[in-house]
Amino acid sequence: MRLIVGLGNPGPEYARTPHNLGFRVVDRLAERAGIRVTRPEAQAYVGFGTIVGHEVALAKPQTYMNASGRSVRDLI
C-alpha cells in the first residue's frame, strides 16, 4: 500500500490558500478514483482505494502545517 499525504491547514479560512495545495491534490485524486477521504485516523482524514492498480491510502492531516509530521508518523 502507498500512502499519499496532502499537507494543509484545517479550517475554512485556509481553504483557498497556497498552504492547502496538498489538500486540493488529495481531493482531486480522491474524486478521480472514487475514494472518500472522510475516515478520522491519526489526526487526519483518510480514504482507501485503488489508483492505477495500486492500493493507496489518501490522507489529509488535520494538524497545522508545522505539526503535520506527528500525523504522518502515526499514519505510517
**Catalytic hit among 3, 11, 15, 19:** 19
Grid coordinates representing 28 are 482531486
- Residue 19 known to be catalytic: yes
Grid coordinates representing 63 are 494538524
End-to-end Cα spacing for the chain: 11
Separation CA 59–CA 68 (nearest Å): 11
Catalytic sites, residue numbers? 19
